[in-house]
Amino acid sequence: MKIWLSKNSEVPIREQLLEQISIGIASGDLHSGERLPSVREIARRFQIHPNTVSSVYRNLAENGLVEFRKGSGVFVANQSRIPIDEQGAGDLIGRIIDEARKYGVTPIELRSMLDEYLASSENTLIVLVESDLRLQEILAAEIQESLRTEVKGVRSIDPEKIEFGQNLVITAMYDERDELNKRLKRDTKRVFLKVSSVANTLSGRTRPDDDDMVAVVSGWAPFLSLAKLFLVAANIDPDTIITRSTCEKNWQSGLDQAAIIICDVVSARKLENHDGVAVFRIISKESINELKELADWDTFR
């Protein structure tokens, strides 16, 4: 994973390093068991104090993202998830056909019965657990646009009280994985969302000219700071970057002067009359596809 640190950024060096490594792990750019650069190596490369790097590594370790191995260094902790329980589609279909034959039901009749049953079955409900309401809104919008299915956003969840029916998938950001795995019942379908890779997000974008104004727009404050950080890391002049929070009055001021407007999917809906809008999606394609697979399995659509 490539690390960018800018000493000219408003974001402290410690926070830049912490955010980039955390996102690298969450997006899969850094794999479980991968060795991270040593404290001394990062400090020497970027000419920063070793205590800054040590502080970042301690924070990551406290949150279960990395682990210290005596005499070996710092490694990405095991990020494995609970695998989806698959009984074997062929065996399952075979048992259904065998049971149907016992009642004199032919395969053609069975297919007709299944089509009728599935046509009347309810759609999969995706329950999104996220305490930050601004982020929850963005994630829900991304999922709804990709899957065309109902998404219910909640700030927390009690596994004993949910009554959403059997076609249910629980989803949350990847850093909630350990806590929710402890609380959810074993047979509850779940997907923990990884964030888009920094490299994938920046690749393929038309680079603005040196004197072009670039705007970053969102109602979620971390989006504003992270997007600016990545732009500066990509050698965009920080003096040409403006940020606008949709939570503030007159947030559209100055956007007409921007060559590119980088925003989240929710903010993009408020910018339909502007040219040069580039939507950065938070959820990785891998996680969206994982949700699609579970939704398709539940609804057979």
Written as one string, the DSSP assignment of 160-190 is TT----SSEEEEEEGGGHHHHHHHS-TT-EE
| Residue 212 resides in a domain | yes
pLDDT of residue 206: 64
Instruction: Clarify whether residues 149 and 207 are in a common domain.
Output: no
130 Cβ neighbours under 8 A, 6+ residues apart: 136, 139, 153, 154, 155, 172, 173
Instruction: Clarify whether residues 177 and 133 are in a common domain.
Output: yes
Where is the domain boundary, 40, 56, 76?
76
Instruction: Clarify whether residues 192 and 288 are in a common domain.
Output: yes
Q: Of 252, 183, 259, which is closest to residue 219 (Cα–Cα)?
A: 252
**pLDDT tens-place string over residues 234-287:** 788 889 999 999 999 999 999 999 988 999 999 998 998 787 888 888 999 999
Number of domains in the chain: 4
What are the φ/ψ torsions at residue 111 (nearest 5 degrees)?
A: -60, -40
Domain CATH number, residue 169? 3.40.50.2300
Domain that holds residue 35: 13-76
Phi-psi region of 151 (alpha: psi -120 to 50; beta: other; left: phi over 0): beta
pLDDT of residue 120: 45
| Residue 139 resides in a domain | yes
3-state SS assignment for residue 90: helix
pLDDT of residue 218: 95
| Residue 146 resides in a domain | yes
Instruction: Clarify whether residues 39 and 112 are in a common domain.
Output: no
Instruction: Clarify whether residues 188 and 203 are in a common domain.
Output: no
pLDDT of residue 189: 87
Q: Of 279, 288, 264, 292, which is closest to residue 194 (Cα–Cα)?
A: 288
| Residue 225 resides in a domain | yes
| Residue 4 resides in a domain | no
Q: Residues of the chain whose pLDDT is less than 70?
A: 1, 79-92, 116-123, 159-166, 197-207, 296-301
pTM for the whole structure: 0.61
pLDDT of residue 300: 37
